[in-house]
Amino acid sequence: MIDDTYQCLTAVAGTPRGPRHLIAGGTVSALCQAYLGHGYGFDQALALLVGLLAAAETQCWKEAEPDLLAVLRGLSEDFQKAEDASKFELCQLLPLFLPPTTTVPSECLRDLQAGLARILGSKLSSWQRNPALKLAARLAHACGSTWIPAGSSGSKFLALLVNLACVEVRLALEETGSEVKEDVVTACYALMELGIQECTRCEQSLLKEPQKVQLVSIMKEAIGAVIHYLQQVGPEKQKEPFVFASVRILGAWLAEETSSLRKEVCQLLPFLVRYAKTLYEEAEEANDLSQQVANLAISPTTPGPSWPGDALRLLLPGWCHLTVEDGPREILIKEGAPSLLCKYFLQQWELTSPGHDTSVLPDSVEIGLQTCCHIFLNLVVTAPGLIKRDACFTSLMNTLMTSLPALVQQQGRLLLAANVATLGLLMARLLSTSPALQGTPASRGFFAAAILFLSQSHVARATPGSDQAVLALSPDYEGIWADLQELWFLGMQAFTGCVPLLPWLAPAALRSRWPQELLQLLGSVSPTSVKPEMVAAYQGVLVELARANRLCREAMRLQAGEETASHYRMAALEQCLSEP
């Protein structure tokens, strides 16, 4: 009777709508209990569970999470204790029982790591090793490095994992023409990515410095094999998930390391630009922003059905480093990367605009926008002629101007607002003759918002036991000042440069009362609490405003500007205010 029951359930599960009906009817919980009870036919219960999880993983976990976690605990314990060939079979089963969203129980992680350490520390054939690597990759994707214990044993295990992954990648990709086991190599990519993260982690890294040096050298050779493979990819293969996975691991490497393999990377750049452009244009043709959002968080171990992926997002950090260097930057410009990046930025910006549910967006969208801004900042500084002649930057400038006023008012988005404000100010200096910047409502709104960002960074703060306040960071700025300060100083410098180029800007600044409030702030705090670089930044803005407009000079004098300038030894401002 039990055999007949399993036969019926298996037949239903094999139909198109069968899994959905079985899951809704409580079959998953029943099968879990049957397996955990180890009664007659429990192995058939496990086989059915595997089929249902493969067909509808999310629905299974939604309906029977506690029971599935109990099965995972049992399988993990069996895996840790197994001394025979069953441990290799469990390696293949266990990835299916790792929850997609729920945290894996700590006791399961301990058992899984111990079992993997015993397997991978032995001499194995590929059919025994590959499932273990795939299980480790799933754990790395789900838990990062938290499943690996701290201390000597953990660091040795992680080094072994990354080493094995790199060897597998080289063996698979260096031999031109050989058949690549894409699922295994993709799993190795995930382990390499974990190695990159740990090698670049400054605090609480599992690895010691000598281990990091050794692993970076080993990973460099594996990345060389990835580059070699990508150089062979023709147009007919560009839409394959494995190519995307290969670009992903290369992007992760370039985000941290661009000095090694520089010649090989430069040779590959034209392909990377074309590849990113192909995937971007295909997604754009589909015109389905919700699908593009779904593609932003593709697992490195299981590419999944959503295709094409967002290749540009993966390449942005590396391109940010490469645009600083003359050779790679020239290649990127020649291949049309700036124009592509402008289009991508505008498309991603649309995802965050009113009318779209920003709560479902992954953090990578906002980080991607910030990284785009950094690339554009590099181009503004190193290739100003490109900004002036390429029409795409005019469209970008218009978007920055219309977006910043709302952005600076939004909680939790100060860092993005800083990027947008600073980039816009630097671009405005280069595009100052553009009709869009001649006192239009959009340009006035942008500069008012930029002034808001620059002016609200510091406040006067009272100190116990002292009559005089000190200059201190505003609460909103304090927690992120390490990431913000370079942008703030650059923004102050760029605003200063815009004042003589845009005649309407000084009167607009005066109406905002920024120069008066700035002098009032400096007058209310102890000069010793204001760092020299702050004094220089403030003086730069005040001097240019005073030089540009007589009313500004008069307003500054009324705000004790000359006296404040004397206190802070702002010789240029003092001289400017002493003139009629």
The answer to whether 296 and 362 have CB atoms below 8 angstroms apart is yes
| Amino acid identity for residue 512 in this structure | S
Question: Tokens 């970008």 — which residue?
Answer: 396
- Residue 288 scores a pLDDT above 60: no
The answer to whether 421 and 450 have CB atoms below 8 angstroms apart is yes
**The predicted structure's pLDDT at residue 308:** 55
Confidence category of residue 306, pLDDT binned at 50, 70, 90? very low
Confidence category of residue 450, pLDDT binned at 50, 70, 90? very high
Angle ∠(80,61,85) on CA atoms, nearest 5: 25
**Mean pLDDT, residues 332-355:** 89
**Residue 447: CATH number of its domain:** 1.25.10
Confidence category of residue 361, pLDDT binned at 50, 70, 90? low
Single residue among 105, 120, 139 that ends a domain in this structure:
105
**The predicted structure's pLDDT at residue 354:** 63
The answer to whether 297 and 272 have CB atoms below 8 angstroms apart is no
Q: Is 207 helix (H, G, I), strand (E, B) or coil?
A: coil
Torsion of CA 207, 213, 216, 220, to 10 degrees: -160
Within 8 A by CB and 6+ apart from 46, the residues are: 31, 35, 71, 93
Q: What would the pLDDT profile of 497-547 be if each residue is shown by its tens digit?
A: 999 999 999 999 999 999 999 999 999 999 999 999 999 999 999 999 999
Confidence category of residue 358, pLDDT binned at 50, 70, 90? low
Q: Is the preceding peptide bond at 16 cis, omega within 30 degrees of 0?
A: no
**The predicted structure's pLDDT at residue 468:** 84
The answer to whether 185 and 169 have CB atoms below 8 angstroms apart is yes
Q: Domain tally for the chain?
A: 3
Residue 221 has φ and ψ, to the nearest 5°, of -65, -40
Neighbours of 285 (CB within 10 A): 8
**The predicted structure's pLDDT at residue 355:** 62
- Residue 294 scores a pLDDT above 90: no
Q: What is the DSSP string of 477-528?
A: HHTTHHHHHHHHHHHHHHHHHHTTT-TTHHHHHHHHTHHHHHHHHHHHB-GG
Q: Find, among 383, 395, 287, the residue nearest to 341 by Cα.
A: 395
Q: In terms of domains, do 385 and 426 share one? A: no
Q: In terms of domains, do 477 and 572 share one? A: yes
Distance from the first to the final alpha carbon of the chain: 105
Say which DSSP state 104 is in: P
Within 8 A by CB and 6+ apart from 197, the residues are: 144, 145
Q: In terms of domains, do 376 and 487 share one? A: no
Confidence category of residue 310, pLDDT binned at 50, 70, 90? confident
The answer to whether 488 and 457 have CB atoms below 8 angstroms apart is yes
- Using CA atoms, how far apart are residues 332 and 342, in angstroms rounded to an integer? 13
Q: Could you tell me which residue, 290 or 169, shows the higher pLDDT?
A: 169
Q: In terms of domains, do 375 and 515 share one? A: no
Q: In terms of domains, do 84 and 59 share one? A: yes
Angle ∠(111,117,123) on CA atoms, nearest 5: 140
| Domain annotation covers residue 438 | yes
Confidence category of residue 307, pLDDT binned at 50, 70, 90? very low
Share above pLDDT 90 across residues of the chain, in percent, rounded to a whole number? 76
The answer to whether 242 and 184 have CB atoms below 8 angstroms apart is no
Q: In terms of domains, do 419 and 496 share one? A: yes
| Domain annotation covers residue 375 | yes
Q: Is 396 helix (H, G, I), strand (E, B) or coil?
A: helix
Q: What would the pLDDT profile of 108-130 be if each residue is shown by its tens digit?
A: 999 999 999 999 988 888 888 99
The answer to whether 524 and 460 have CB atoms below 8 angstroms apart is yes
Within 8 A by CB and 6+ apart from 93, the residues are: 46, 50, 75
- Residue 292 scores a pLDDT above 90: no
- Residue 251 scores a pLDDT above 50: yes
Confidence category of residue 297, pLDDT binned at 50, 70, 90? very low
Q: Could you tell me which residue, 43 or 468, shows the higher pLDDT?
A: 43
- Using CA atoms, how far apart are residues 231 and 229, in angstroms rounded to an integer? 5
The answer to whether 109 and 75 have CB atoms below 8 angstroms apart is no
Q: In terms of domains, do 405 and 544 share one? A: yes
Angle ∠(393,395,396) on CA atoms, nearest 5: 60
- Residue 296 scores a pLDDT above 50: no
Q: Is 259 helix (H, G, I), strand (E, B) or coil?
A: coil
| Domain annotation covers residue 518 | yes
**Mean pLDDT, residues 367-387:** 95
Q: In terms of domains, do 63 and 91 share one? A: yes
Residue 473 has φ and ψ, to the nearest 5°, of -70, 145
- Range(s) of the domain holding residue 498: 399-579
Single residue among 71, 88, 105 that ends a domain in this structure:
105
| Domain annotation covers residue 251 | no
- Using CA atoms, how far apart are residues 223 and 255, in angstroms rounded to an integer? 13
Single residue among 63, 88, 105 that ends a domain in this structure:
105
Name residue 460's beta-bridge partners. 471
